[in-house]
Amino acid sequence: MSRRAHITVQIILLAAQLANALLPILSPDGKVIGLAFIGFLQGGVGIINHAFNTDGTPQTVAFQGDTK
């Protein structure tokens, strides 16, 4: 996963966290479940991203630096 993709996904999930916390979409119990679920998604994306360099290549490939 490239750095740009990781940041984009994390920003979208952060917006979902804020919307869930601040908007009356779910019941109080539903908000807790929603916040936990989105938090697990954010953690999963972070764990997946640890297997990749910032240019999107796998960690098993030597990092060549950003070409952008």
CB neighbourhood size of 53 (10 A) = 19
The per-residue pLDDT of the chain, averaged, comes to: 86
Q: Which two tokens stand for residue 19?
A: 């919307």
Q: Which band of pLDDT confidence, cut at 50, 70 and 90, is reported for residue 67?
A: low
Cα–Cα dist 9/45, whole Å: 8
pLDDT tens digits, 4-21: 888 899 999 999 999 999
- Model-level pTM? 0.74
CB neighbourhood size of 6 (10 A) = 17
